[in-house]
Every structure is written in C-alpha cells, then in structure tokens.
C-alpha cells in the first residue's frame, strides 16, 4: 500500500500525483488539512511538510517530491 500525505493546492504534491498517474499507481491520499492527519504526519516523518510518501510494502518513507518521483520510477516504472 502506498500512502501519500498531501495538501490541497500544493504544486509539489501535484507533481507526485501526476507521476503516479503516468505510472498507473494508486495512492491512499491523506490530506493534512485535517489536523489529525497533520499530527499523524509529524509523528511519522518528523515535520509538517508534504508530499510525504509511505511505501508500506518496502518499508520506505520519504519527503521531497523529486526523491519521491525518482523512487516511483525506480520501483514501479517500466524498467523496474
């Protein structure tokens, strides 16, 4: 399961979501507009910043949209 913490209107989140769509990936999107979700993100990753990806199957978690996009291509792209 891939969880993606996002915020409405966040261009970095949109970039990751577009990459996911291109690769045919479905995310369980969690929006930090909900304070409980924001708290969950801070507990999990250490800071309030989106996007934040959790790949539960691979036990990988990361901030930074460029790193997330690269990770998605590496893990789920045609040449993965």
| Interaction of residue 44 with ligand GSH, rule CB under 6 A | no
Q: In what order do the strands lie in the sheet with 52-55?
A: 28-31, 2-6, 52-55, 60-63
| Unique residue bearing structure tokens 């209107």 | 9
Question: How near is the Cβ of 31 to ligand GSH at its closest, in Å?
Answer: 11
Span near ligand GSH by CB under 6 A; candidates 4-12, 21-29, 53-61, 71-79: 4-12
Which residue in 18, 22, 46, 48 binds ligand GSH (CB under 6 A)? 48
C-alpha distances in angstroms, 53 versus 42, 75? Answer: 13, 13
Q: What is the enclosing helix (H) or strand (E) of 23?
A: helix 11-23
| Interaction of residue 19 with ligand GSH, rule CB under 6 A | no
Q: Which residue ranges make up the site for ligand GSH (CB under 6 A)?
A: 7, 10, 12, 48-51, 64-66
């Amino acid at each position: 399961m891939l969880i993606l913490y996002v915020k409405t209107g966040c261009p970095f989140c949109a970039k990751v979501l577009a990459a996911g769509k291109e690769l045919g990936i479905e995310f369980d999107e969690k929006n930090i507009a909900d304070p409980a979700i924001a708290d969950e993100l801070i507990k999990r990753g250490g800071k309030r910043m989106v996007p934040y990806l959790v790949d539960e199957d691979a036990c990988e978690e990361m901030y930074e949209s460029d790193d997330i996009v690269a990770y998605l291509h590496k893990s789920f792209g045609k040449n993965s």
